[in-house]
Amino acid sequence: MPLIAERRDITYTIVIGVWGMVAMYAILHDQYIVRIAPEHFTKYHPPLWDIGNPALLALIYAARSSLAPGLLWGLVLARAARHGDLAKVPVKVVLKGSAIVILLTELLAAVAGLLA
């Protein structure tokens, strides 16, 4: 029995869609972090391909660091939403729910940052 009993295109849509949202969140988040504290990427991260531009470093680090969490979370959601005997959750609902969770996460992080 396959891990996810669903057509591959639906599974790929969920997995890649969720990863894309996680990657976009990470990129946007790091782009405003780099404007506040560029040394976070130039001083506290290991050098990367002799890149000195902090904004480019932030973009690359964000894209790279989103791969594992985004793809794994996408697989978890695809399995939870589309596997088993219960009604299958529509792809749109899975992606919309993921976007809401990401936005709420950023909102909580912003509030925590303001309070700190």
Give, for all 116 residues of the chain, the pLDDT tens digit: 455 666 778 888 888 999 999 999 999 988 988 898 888 888 888 777 888 888 898 898 898 888 888 889 888 888 888 777 778 888 899 999 999 999 998 899 889 989 98
Instruction: Look at residue 102 and tell me if it is in a domain.
Output: yes
Cα 35 to Cα 16: distance, rounded to the nearest angstrom: 29
How far apart are alpha carbons 74 and 70 in whole angstroms?
6
Q: Does residue 50 fall inside a structural domain? A: yes
Q: Give the Cα separation of 72 and 109 in Å (integer).
A: 22
In a domain, 94, yes or no: yes
Total domains in the chain come to 1
Residue-range definition of the domain harbouring residue 70: 8-115
Assess if residue 19 is contained within a domain. Answer: yes
Amino acid at 55: A
**Whole-angstrom Cα distance, residue 62 to residue 81?**
27
* pLDDT score, position 32: 86
